[in-house]
Amino acid sequence: MMSETATPSTGERRAAEAGPRGPRVRSDCWVGLTPQESGGIALEVSSTVESSYGRSIRAACEEGARALGIDHARIEVEDGGALPFVLMARLEAAARRALPDLAGRWVPERTEAAPTPACRERRRRSRLYLPGNQPKYMTNAGLHGPDAVILDLEDSVAPEAKDAARILVRNALRQVDFRGAERTVRINPGSLGLADIDEVAGENVHMVLIPKVESAEDVLEVDERLRARTEETVYLMPIIESARGVLQAPRIAAASERVAALTIGLEDYTADLGVPRTEQGDESRWARSMIVHAARGAGVAAIDSVFSDVSDMDGLRRAVGEAKSMGFEGSGCIHPRQIRVVHEAFDPTPAEVERACRIVRAFRGASERGLGVVSLGSKMIDPPVVERALQTLAQAVESGLLAADWEESED
């Protein structure tokens, strides 16, 4: 059961809490904080790992109170095996709610597991959505091998928990090893999204997903806020979720040089049209094609929506196969079991790899002989075909489907 207390108005001091509580809580904790006029820090801690970590939890809470500038308070903790970065986030969230004028922050050190910089040109076959207020899904997400993880602050987080979630996401970005996955945050629309940026900018985030984008100005507002908050390069992926957004897609894709990909949210898009989303996808095919063309026209990646039925692997395979045929380079995943199917669909097939090898060998062989015309069988090969073949081979090597020294092997 989630127990969250809304943030009090500016200047008001009162008891506040953050995090879930109850017997079924795992990898998380509940923290209650009541400001006091005197008496120092009074701690009450119960933990499922009391014998091993009880003393460490108490010491951490005392350290956190000092870091946050709290001299007098009653702090209660009900711990279900939370990692230190989670306890830190819950205590800070409770403190901010209890003391709205609080200026301090309690930020964990950035671990060596999370040093990689953002990269514009990379494969984005899969992006795994993780609820931004549930740490139990974060710590092992990288083991599933997604190309990107998305710490979601929008749809998966209840309105009353968004302030606590952005602190937790900030700490996760500093602490969790996502095994090389692109570290992405989906912010909220409007002013809430700008508050999200204020918290996570500069915390080793690679990309920001901007929901419900309907104009280039929506992108520029986020871009400007990021540039004001950090010198780190953070790329952008606008999400088109309405008819108006689809019509503005070319301008949205080209709004900033930091836009690296464009995607569509089909649940909201079909709701905007007033039609149900179907597996056949006839109601959204035109819009998806618009997204592909807008992305290609702006030189950015086109990423398809999520497939919402996590039990239907055959349906997922058909959907991502169609997405690839339309020109999309990846899809969203809402469950780890979808990742393998998505990767298999977007990876080159053995036949595609074999043909690409033949094209590149034929082209390079002709070039070495000084021939201006290249053919493979009865078909002429022009530079765009060669370029596409080279991209296919690079993807095959990256996915382990082809040896890096394939050119040295026999035909």
Mean pLDDT, rounded, for 148-156: 97
Please report whether residue 359 resides in a domain: yes
CATH number at residue 92: 3.30.230
The 8-class DSSP code of residue 38 comes to: S
Please report whether residue 113 resides in a domain: no
Please report whether residue 143 resides in a domain: yes
Supply the pLDDT for residue 10: 46
- pLDDT over threshold 80, residue 410: no
Supply the pLDDT for residue 378: 65
Cβ proximity of 252 and 262 under 8 Å: yes
How many domains, the chain?
3
Please name the residues in contact with 349: beta carbons below 8 A apart, sequence gap of 6 or more. Answer: none
Range of the domain at 29: 16-98
Mean pLDDT, rounded, for 202-220: 97
- pLDDT over threshold 60, residue 11: no
9 confidence band (pLDDT: 50, 70, 90): very low
Please, which residues bridge with residue 182 across strands? 148
d(CA 73, CA 39): 8
Supply the pLDDT for residue 6: 44
Return the structure tokens found at 308.
């919402």
Angle at 125 between CA 192 and CA 223, to 5 degrees: 30
Residue 168's nearest CA partner among 81, 267, 89 is 89
pLDDT in tens, 107-127: 999 887 666 788 998 999 999
125 backbone dihedrals φ, ψ, rounded to 5°? -65, -45
Q: Look at the alpha carbons of 251, 257, 258, 262 in this order and tell me if their dihedral is positive or negative.
A: positive
One domain for residues 222 and 328? yes
d(CA 381, CA 118): 35
Please report whether residue 82 resides in a domain: yes
Cβ proximity of 146 and 323 under 8 Å: no
Supply the pLDDT for residue 5: 43
- pLDDT over threshold 90, residue 312: yes
pLDDT in tens, 325-345: 999 999 999 999 999 999 999
Pairing of the two strands 301-306 and 330-333: parallel
One domain for residues 185 and 310? yes
First to last CA, the chain: 62
Please report whether residue 48 resides in a domain: yes
- pLDDT over threshold 70, residue 373: no
Cβ proximity of 319 and 307 under 8 Å: yes
Pairing of the two strands 73-79 and 29-35: antiparallel
Please report whether residue 110 resides in a domain: no
Supply the pLDDT for residue 115: 61
One domain for residues 255 and 367? no
Residue where a domain terminates, one of 79, 98, 117? 98
Please report whether residue 103 resides in a domain: no
Average pLDDT, the chain: 92
Helix (H, G, I), strand (E, B) or coil at 148: strand
pLDDT in tens, 313-326: 999 999 999 999 99
Helical spans, DSSP H, in 201-262: 216-229, 243-247, 249-253
Mean pLDDT, rounded, for 170-182: 95
Mean pLDDT, rounded, for 200-228: 97
Helix or strand run (H / E) with residue 207: strand 207-210
One domain for residues 354 and 340? no
One domain for residues 261 and 318? yes
d(CA 310, CA 329): 20
One domain for residues 305 and 336? yes
Supply the pLDDT for residue 113: 66
Cβ proximity of 376 and 359 under 8 Å: yes
Q: Where are the beta strands (DSSP E) in 307-358?
A: 330-333
One domain for residues 32 and 181? no
Residue with the two structure tokens 């060669």: 386
One domain for residues 75 and 192? no
CB atoms within 10 A of CB 311: 8
Supply the pLDDT for residue 137: 96
Residue where a domain terminates, one of 325, 346, 367? 346
One domain for residues 317 and 374? no
CATH number at residue 199: 3.20.20.60
One domain for residues 154 and 242? yes
From 45-49, 112-116, 136-140, 213-217, the region with the lowest mean pLDDT: 112-116
Angle at 149 between CA 144 and CA 150, to 5 degrees: 145
Helix (H, G, I), strand (E, B) or coil at 201: coil
Helical spans, DSSP H, in 99-184: 162-175
One domain for residues 354 and 336? no
CB atoms within 10 A of CB 264: 25
One domain for residues 216 and 256? yes
382 backbone dihedrals φ, ψ, rounded to 5°? -110, 170
Percent of all residues in the chain with a pLDDT value above 90, rounded to a whole number? 80
Residue where a domain terminates, one of 98, 118, 142? 98
Percent of all residues in the chain with a pLDDT value above 70, rounded to a whole number? 94
- pLDDT over threshold 90, residue 370: no
DSSP line for 261-295: EEEE-HHHHHHHHT----SS-TTTHHHHHHHHHHH
Cβ proximity of 192 and 221 under 8 Å: no
Supply the pLDDT for residue 114: 60
Please report whether residue 89 resides in a domain: yes
Cβ proximity of 29 and 87 under 8 Å: yes
